[in-house]
Amino acid sequence: MWFVNLCVCVCPCAVGPAGQVFSFETNSRHMDSAKKNFEKWRHNWVLTRGAEWPDNVTFVSEDVRTFAEHVTAAVDYVSLG
């Protein structure tokens, strides 16, 4: 399953460890915050589950309208918001 999203607030486990989340952001401050939040979430996953969660979020510093250039497989779900 592939998942394209503007916000990494959606838990990456929604797509499972084999899925992929794409986060598009044009504001560098928001992008930095999203990256930090995802890394914190992954760290907490290890602490609570005892296993590492895969790095299944791709951060793209561009407008979401360019997502077709980055996504090479079929997309199952798109969330704009």
Query: How long a stretch of residues is the chain?
Result: 81
19-48 pLDDT, tens digit per residue, is 888 888 888 888 888 888 888 888 988 999
pLDDT at 80: 66
Nearest to residue 58, comparing CAs of 72, 45, 43, 76?
Answer: 72
Q: Which residues pair with 59 in a beta bridge?
A: 23
Contact 17, 57 (CB under 8 A): no
Type of residue at 51: A
39-81 pLDDT, tens digit per residue, is 888 898 899 999 998 888 888 898 888 887 877 777 777 766 5
> What is the percent of the chain with per-residue pLDDT over 70, rounded to a whole number?
83
